[in-house]
A and B are shown apart, each in its own frame.
Chain A
Amino acid sequence: MSPRRTVHRIIAGREAGTALGLIVLCVALWIATPYFATAANLSNVAEQSAIVGVIAIGMTFVILTGGIDLSVGSLVALVGVVIGSALQRGWPVTGAVGLGLMAGIGAGAVNGLTITRGGLPPFIATLGMMSVARGGALMLSDGRPISGFPDSLRVIATGHALGVPAPVVLMLSLYLVAYVVLTRTVAGRYLYAIGGNEQATALAGVDVRFHKTVVYALSGLSAAVCAVLLLARLNSAQPIAGIGYELDAIAAVVIGGTSLLGGSGSVIGTLIGALIMSVLRNGLNLLGVSSYLQQVAIGSVIIVAVLIDMALRRRVQRSFR
């Protein structure tokens, strides 16, 4: 498919409504406050969206297969603490980060195995892991933050490429990879099929258990990447980091139009969803809205966005017999 047709499809597709929402939101904030549309602020918004944006990639994969991953917030803390203590013990940065990523993949794979081999519902399996990982992070760090990391790690948060903050570059490249995987590869096609009809997919000879396990491992990996970003940004590993991130990630996926039933959706939608969340938060801050009211506003946006999405989908369906 030519790039032009891809662009055309995105414009005409389901992501268009979400993108329109983001544009309307940005224009409204641009009019409402002079502080929004400044280079510094926009760069800040993008950087903030990278944290949850990265987790939301893995979450999109999981939700596409019809699952859910509640453990990612806790995994961010666990991986952060793993990397932090490795660095404290004198590990080189690459080794420590590698260990952290492996820990994320490992915990995710455990989720996948309890779901596919143990037969637990994803909600339960990952709810358990959410608690296990949080407890592990607290045990490993003795409940205290670990701080002070070498510059070679911090550059992940502070560096720039062509004037764009490094976390944003990282996030966008991961989205690009995820987009190609989902739309162009065999594995991506299998994920949509599994979410659409798991039984039929298994009957077509696809190793459903394997692919689902991999998906949870990837979700663990994306939580681990998020942990690295957070570590570099805060210059400290907190055992209480990442609380509620799983819900933000799910919100980004859902606002982006991916069905919680599985089988339909895209990472482009998720990226826009993640941007909407952070633009909204930033805008409300700039407008001086109290943080209590902010929560109400963000919750309402999630509900309204999904209501609109469902209404649109029903209209599309009704146009067929």
Chain B
Amino acid sequence: MTAPRLDDPAPALAMRGIRKAYPGVIALDGVHLEVQRGEVHVLLGENGAGKSTLMKILSGGEQMDAGVIAIDGRAIALGSPRMARDAGIAIIHQELALVPGMSVAENVFLGRAPTRVGLVDHARMVRESVVLLERVGASVDPGVLVETLSIAQRQLVEIARALSLDARILIMDEPTSALTARETALLFETIRWLTARGTSVIYISHRLDEIFTIGNRITVLRDGRNVATRDVQAADRRELVHLMTDREVDELVPSAARVPGDVRLSVQGLCVRRTLHDISFSVRAGEIVGFAGLLGAGRTEIARAVFGLDAFDSGTIAVDGAVVEIQSPRDAIAAGIGFVTEDRTREGLVLTRSVRDNVALPILQRLSRFGVVHRRSETSTAEESVRNLRIRARGVTQRARELSGGNQQKVVLARWLATGARILLLDEPTRGVDVGAKQEIYQLINELASSGVAIVLMSSDLPEVLGLSDRLLVMREGRIAGAFSRADASAERVMACAVGM
């Protein structure tokens, strides 16, 4: 087959006029994307802008309705993930695609295990995985099961797997969402090593800092169309946010002046064997207390213990000055505590159910008489939440699964507000949420605090936790290693404290 040459010199990848329509929505409307050899090309856009669809088409998971894809100037067909892989395209999924019950080495070589006389050559598999894992800076034993690894380690294994494919075009969908600063730095080193060898990387991220560190060029999509392509040097933050959302944003993290009230939540001497040591802190009404720290430093564990999910060995929890017994989420909810978990699809939402069902879940008892749910009040409660939190859904009966990440997170928030929670534990509230929605969630958090809710914010996104918190506590190895007021908290000082410098 003689393929037409599209360009000269041919870019590593050219996508032209890509169209994709789903019933009722045009996901991609003539999008083009050109990636040079050895380039890190950032794809930017809000959720629903068409990034994922475009990458699904490129990795063979979806078929385009119209358009041309060329690799090194040759038009190719990408009818299946297999064909994409053969064409040298590899994708690292945002939702991890590893088999938990298999070893790291087996996962790295999943589906392509090296064989000798028809049997899996285990020694070679382990040997080669060690090299790949070192390459990405993952200090994991290739023999251990993936289920024993942290999310960050799994992400690194996934990256090692993509490396083993020897791809010419590597798609990374939010690869750093679970990584610490150090791991992110290592990942960037790997990316630089790859690009120096001529591999092209398509990089999807919502973290602008990263984009400026690692990217060469940026393509912004909005509503399924190209908005702009810029060299990183020529781009500035505010412009990018504006291009994505088509609205002016004053600051990435808004600050608000608030006057905190009485102490609402007070935790004294909380200990959980091996994970938490003597944790004491208090949060006032209308105050945002941030918890920073490396992954695994114990932030989530605090929230889990306070919410009654994990039993603690010693310590007391007091709400509004009175000590409360919290042994289950029910107790915590009764005490006016709400918990927005880190993993909203696994622990937050019932994705198969509607927005209404999800919002009403913890308050069904209150919305019912003799065990029969009063639908009208259920619907009006949900509708009120949708309005107040500006949740973008077709209606309260739309399934949670169909919402964007940011709107899903708002549904989780809505649920706790509906219970009348006066204390909110927010664990990574903007993880996997696009910039525009992040902004809205920040605003909501500020509004909630202003209305008198006491907020505990756990976040590994430093600018986020610095920008939102009135006070900042830094966790290290299960202890509170430092406390900063808003005025003297800076990224460098917090980081130094978190790593123990």
Contact = CB atoms under 8 A, between A and B. Distances in A.
Contact of A197 (B27, B350, B362): B350
A197 B350 CA distance: 5
A12 to B, nearest CB: 13
A307 to B, nearest CB: 21
A3 interface: no
B330 interface: yes
Given A189-B373, A203-B348, 17 more contacts: A186-B365, A187-B371, A192-B352, A192-B357, A196-B351, A196-B353, A197-B349, A197-B350, A199-B347, A202-B329, A203-B307, A205-B330, A206-B362, A263-B350, A318-B22, A321-B25, A321-B402
Chain B binding site: helix, strand, loop or mixed by DSSP? mixed
A203 B364 contact: no
Q: What are the nearest 7 A-B pairs in CB distance?
A: A196-B350, A319-B23, A205-B333, A196-B352, A204-B362, A186-B364, A197-B350
Contacts of A184: 372-373, 375
B162 to A, nearest CB: 25
Interface of A: 1, 184-187, 189-190, 192-193, 196-197, 199-207, 263-264, 318-321
Interface residues of B, number: 38
Interface string B359-377: 0111011001001110100
Interface string B29-73: 000000000000000000010000100000000000000000000
A116 to B, nearest CB: 14
A186 B378 CA distance: 11
A320 B53 CA distance: 12
A163 B413 CA distance: 55
A263 B352 contact: yes
A321 B48 contact: yes
A7 B346 CA distance: 34
Nearest to A199: B347
B401 to A, nearest CB: 8
Interface in B230-250: none
A200 B361 CA distance: 10
B346 A197 contact: yes
Nearest to A263: B352
A309 to B, nearest CB: 15
Contacts of B154: none
Contacts of B329: 202-205
B371 A321 contact: no
Contacts of B409: none
A266 B397 CA distance: 17
Give the interface centre of B24, B333, B360, B373 by most chain A CB atoms within 10 Å: B373
Contacts of A186: 364-365, 368, 371-373
A321 B368 contact: no
7 contacts: A186-B364, A189-B364, A192-B350, A196-B352, A196-B353, A205-B333, A207-B328
A192 B352 CA distance: 9
A158 to B, nearest CB: 35
A320 B353 contact: no
Given A185-B373, A205-B329, A320-B402, A190 B309 contact: no
A206 B24 contact: no
B339 interface: yes
A201 B329 CA distance: 10
Given A199-B347, A203-B348, A263-B352, A193 B361 contact: yes
B129 interface: no
Interface string B203-216: 00000000000000
A200 B352 contact: no
